[in-house]
Structure 1
């Protein structure tokens, strides 16, 4: 059933050789304990492994030579062009090399995996570029990872792509795998070869709250920089995420900041966490960074300040409630938009009326013309009639005395309103009005 990598038949299995055929060339492996593996394309053997049929696995894999065979698998999610004789090219499925150990470890078949290991399977064999421990961690199979480590699997093995098993703990379910790796000596600050991401970069970018907590408890570096110059806090803030993941990213950033991460750290493009959090419209992260001293008006290399980024994102991230970030920036002294550009902002941000409300309530007077009514689609006016009617009416009447008093007081405080507010002795409703409370109407 099994043939050698260079075509030599195993004497013990000669009668079954016609069931499999050898693959051209030796299998690559840069890991310790390298052996020339056997190679197999027998679907009966593969089915036993992929279904976790212990009885069949015990039947087919009884000797060391058999348990270390290499299996050719096709990745049906990855098509590629391949060349053939006469210079023709065709689109085929990518072929991958794997082993019985990899298959069983990635699918959580612990009993099959144990049988293979007891029969002498090479625990660090990596014909496809990854060890079985890599694939177990990728699949979050903690029991398999524990078994592999108990048989001496190297927690520091580097894949063909330059990743260690700890870098591949990339799902909430892989937390126990990460814990096992660290307990067995995995390096907490080891970077990937190309991206130079540490495990903390990976966990922060993916919004893995418990992974971040675990890595910090093992001394993960808060200021390690990857190939883009990002710290883990930069990486977390720079990652785009849906509205339902905002709380996880907030908790990740909260942990990093509480541990001492620099809130004004910059990447190679001089992007700071606040720039990136605004670009991704996460208002709770914006509030967190501002409360810990993030510079509200500093520019990136592109010339954008945080306010520019949140206004650019507001139109297509309305479910993130970008208006809250706009309000927080204004209350922390963000430079206001040039009044002549407000019509352009209205055209872009009219899908988020509260964003427009916060901006306009930071000015004493705004020159509203007929162009403003033309800038808002009719369907949006129908969805928010009270707000837009009050907006368009500003072209015929002045702002209310209460609003003018608010603007006068905010102007006197010059960006120090949050520090001064507790000393003013104002009742809570008036404090909230001063801080640009949303009312869905303009007075």
Structure 2
């Protein structure tokens, strides 16, 4: 490598790839605008010729104009009905292409290695602006004046915009005026694929009522609307699509079924319940819990990676295999242990306990200090893991593995662990281990049926006490 050169980092390469994609999209937008402008000029010339005495009475279709008038744009973006009525009286041209100024700024390449900070610009129309902002009265006015519902200079139709921005009244108006419920955007998406928010449910209902393809596929990933609903954590949408005949186990290009997609989507603590309900609905409709993607990852692998304990318990209750290995040789237990330090608020200890109670493989004892280091902020997870062993060889490496701040925050628990260096496990714990070994992977199904006090059942199922003994 020469002195004046440098190596691109993966982050820099990804950034350059994103910039290249954005440049290509903007080039396409400019070409689209240019074609509209050229088309408009030619048609206007023909229109002027048609107005001559010798011209036939039938008029050719009026092409979209290019509007740069800030008064018109301001009225559209603010939904000023009175001004729009004045600007668009009967007989005026309403099909126009608008290239709004402003928006987000980003660095753009200009050639010769020069970059400049430039506003992003995207072609739009009056119909798109009013539909996306929910100005239904303004939208109705434009439609009455003959606005073209299929005009898509920026790649999306107005119906795409209304659905993406959760504007059901505007979506209904467009559909009533002949908008195509299966129109495909420049990115290969139908309007149903853009219903990704809970507030878009009514848009989905209108689309299906007007003939939207319930199993329509995206161009790039081959996703169905059910994939989109599952990935977005939308239980009401999933129920709606299944009622309309959505295929519950149809895989996309990556081998993901809707159930795989729901389990694989990153989820924060506030979204766990939504994704659980989606999985519950899909499994209730017959989704296969054993389906693997291209990397042989099952829904259980993915649910463990995202540390959603309710989904993990649901999958296990419906027969998910606890020890399936993916192409990387990792079982679901590996996935949850790698995620513990990032998912403390998700109760990862519940996931580990459920896996162990269903017969999951355990951590190699020599790797327990490393596990303690990475899971130190979740002592309950460590407690569940340690209680799956009848004997533990606690050494100085265990003490060194726990960060001082974690030790101070959970001193009583870690003191009980380190005390095992001088003493063996209690007789009560050894009895628990013997029973669990005898039951093997049947602990979760047999123990609840035993005629034992509840606290003993919980003890056998590795309930938490805040210490080890």
- Is the TM value for this pair above 0.5? yes
Q: Is the 8 A contact 1:75 1:96 kept in 2?
A: no
Taking structure 1 as reference, are residues 307 and 51 closer, same or farther at Cα in structure 2, changes over 3 Å only?
same
Q: Residues of 1 paired with 2:117 and 2:453: CA distance?
A: 71
- Seen in structure 2, the aligned counterparts of structure 1 residues 307 and 149 have a Cα distance that, compared at 3 Å, is same
SS in 2 for 1:97: coil
Which residue is equivalent to 2:327? 301
Aligned to 2:420: 394
Find the aligned partners of 1:75 and 1:142 in 2 and give their Cα distance.
27
Equivalences for 1:21-36 in 2 at 5 Å?
36=63
Aligned to 2:192: 166
Is the partner of 1:415 in helix, strand or coil? helix
In structure 1, which of residues 417, 423, 429 is the aligned counterpart of residue 455 of structure 2? 429
- The whole-number CA distance in structure 1 between the counterparts of 2:225 and 2:91 is 35
1:96, distance to aligned residue in structure 2 (A):
1.0
Note closer, same or farther for the CA distance 1:175–1:35 as it changes in structure 2 (3 Å cut): farther
Structure 2 distance, partners of 1:47, 1:82, is: 30
Instruction: Tell me which residue corresponds to 2:354.
Output: 328
Quote the Cα distance in structure 2 between the aligned partners of 1:128 and 1:336.
54
Asked if residue 357 in structure 1 is aligned to residue 383 in structure 2, the reply is: yes
Q: Give the number of equivalent residue pairs.
A: 419
Deviation at 1:5, TM superposition (A): 2.1
In structure 2, which of residues 359, 365, 368 is the aligned counterpart of residue 342 of structure 1? 368
* Alpha-carbon separation, structure 1, partners of 2:181 and 2:460: 56
1:78 to 1:204, Cα distance in 2 relative to 1, 3 A: farther
Name the counterpart of 2:104.
77
2:73 to 46, 49, 56: 46
1:265 counterpart = 2:297: no
1:200 and 1:217 mapped to 2: Cα distance?
11
Q: So what's the TM-score if we normalise by structure 2? A: 0.86
The alignment partner of 2:459 has SS state of helix
Q: Which moved more, 1:65-74 or 1:392-401?
A: 65-74
Q: Report the CA distance between 1:63 and its aligned residue.
A: 5.1
Shift of 1:35: 6.3
> Is residue 442 from structure 1 mapped to residue 461 from structure 2 by the alignment?
no
User: What's the CA shift for 1:420?
Assistant: 2.0
Unaligned stretches of 5+ in structure 1? 15-32
RMSD: 2.0
Structure 1 SS opposite 2:120: strand
Contact in 1 for aligned 2:163/2:191 (Cα 8 Å):
yes
CA contact (8 A) 2:448 2:457 kept: no
| Cα deviation, residue 83, structure 1 | 3.2
Flag structure 2 segments of 5+ consecutive residues without an equivalent.
Answer: 1-35, 49-59
Aligned to 2:276: 250
Residue 67 (str. 1) matches residue 94 (str. 2):
yes
Instruction: Give the Cα–Cα distance (whole angstroms) in 2 for the partners of residues 174 and 64 of structure 1.
Output: 34
Per the alignment, residue 420 of structure 1 pairs with 446
What's 1:17 paired with?
Answer: none
Q: Give me the TM-score of the superposition, normalised by structure 1.
A: 0.91
Query: 1:214, 1:51 → 2: CA distance?
Result: 34
Can you list the C-alpha shifts for 1:297-352, whole angstroms capped at 9, x where unaligned?
01000111000000000011111110100000000000111111111111111111
Q: 1:47 to 1:164 in 2, by over 3 A?
A: same
Matched, 1:291 2:323: no
**Equivalent of 2:405, from 358, 366, 379?**
379
Task: Report the Cα offset of residue 74 of structure 1.
Answer: 3.8
Other structure's SS at 2:368 match: helix
Q: Alpha-carbon deviation of 1:423?
A: 4.3
Aligned to 1:99: 125
Residue of structure 2 equivalent to 1:186: 212
In the other structure, the counterpart of 2:37 is 5
CA–CA distance in structure 1, aligned partners of residues 459 and 230 of structure 2: 36
Q: More deviation in 155-164 or 88-97?
A: 88-97
